[in-house]
Amino acid sequence: MWPSFHDFLSTAQSWFSSPLAIEIVKSLLSMAGIGIGGFIAIFTYFKQKEYELVKQRYLEGAIDVLVAHFLSMNTEVSNNYARCLQVLRSYSQSGEFFEAKELDTGFLPPKEFSFEETAHVRLQNLIGSDAFWTAFQFATAQFQAANTLLVFEIPQALRIKLSSPEKLNVDKEELADKSAELARARHDDLFKYAPIASGLHTIATILEQQKLSFKAILKVRKLPAVMEVIRKIEEINSAEVERLDGKKDARIASRKKS
């Protein structure tokens, strides 16, 4: 005959109140706690690894690379600009004692810069815009043109004046002054690209301060600070396009006149 429900409850109650049952329950709770704690630890570990991978890809593998690229170009031009002014000052003040070898020393030879396509693709994926890629093309061309002027064109004009003065119908002081003015104008014009470096710094700060997953990086492009950076870079690009279009129109007009 089956035991009554009342008998079953009495038996269960007496068993759960026994020392053995209490120890079993404690063990089960302890094991559950260990399991939950282990799961949380594993989850936290992998999330942290994901945060680190995001920073490695988009900060170290993109933004840091592009900042280094930009600063390298800027350092090169700044050094050559300072050296060019030193040479011109010496040429203007030294009279007949200026040595032509001064034109070959102290300059940093222009380097061939990589386009850093991988870094630009990662940055574009992060911010949802190719504005930096376009701006870097304009900036690289202008930095290289500045270096060509400072390292080759101005020193070559001085060489010609030293070796064959009759070929340049200008006295040495005027040549030095005009060359310095041209160098200064070309150097100062490069300041318009400063938002490239400051914009990259702004985005880098966001990545450093926030723990972003690969899924969450899509939110970066919608941040007001990032949108403002993109707007400033697009302004640079628009100004450059207008400048080039203006030169193109001027050439066309000149051809029509001739």
**pLDDT (tens digit per residue) in 127-182:** 999 999 999 999 999 999 999 999 999 999 999 988 888 888 888 889 999 999 99
Confidence of residue 45 (pLDDT cuts 50, 70, 90): very low
What pLDDT sits at residue 252? 58
Q: Which two tokens stand for residue 199?
A: 């914009």
Q: What does the alpha-carbon distance between residue 25 and residue 46 come to, in Å, rounded to a whole number?
A: 32
pLDDT value, residue 172: 87
Percent over 90 (pLDDT), the chain: 55
* Tokens coding 108: 């940093």
148: DSSP letter: H
- Which amino acid belongs to residue 170? V
- The candidate with the shortest Cα–Cα distance to 225, out of 209, 236, 238, 241, is 209
**Strands, DSSP E only, in 106-151?**
none
Note whether 211 and 173 are within 8 A (CB).
no
CA–CA separation, 25 and 28 (whole Å): 5
Whole-angstrom distance, CA of residue 120 vs CA of residue 134: 10
Residue 39, pLDDT above cutoff 50:
no
- The pLDDT of residue 41 is above 60: no
Average pLDDT over residues 191-217: 91
d(CA 50, CA 87): 53
Output the pTM of the full model: 0.78
Q: Check residue 213 and report its DSSP letter.
A: -
CB 43, CB 90: distance < 8 Å: no
d(CA 258, CA 255): 5
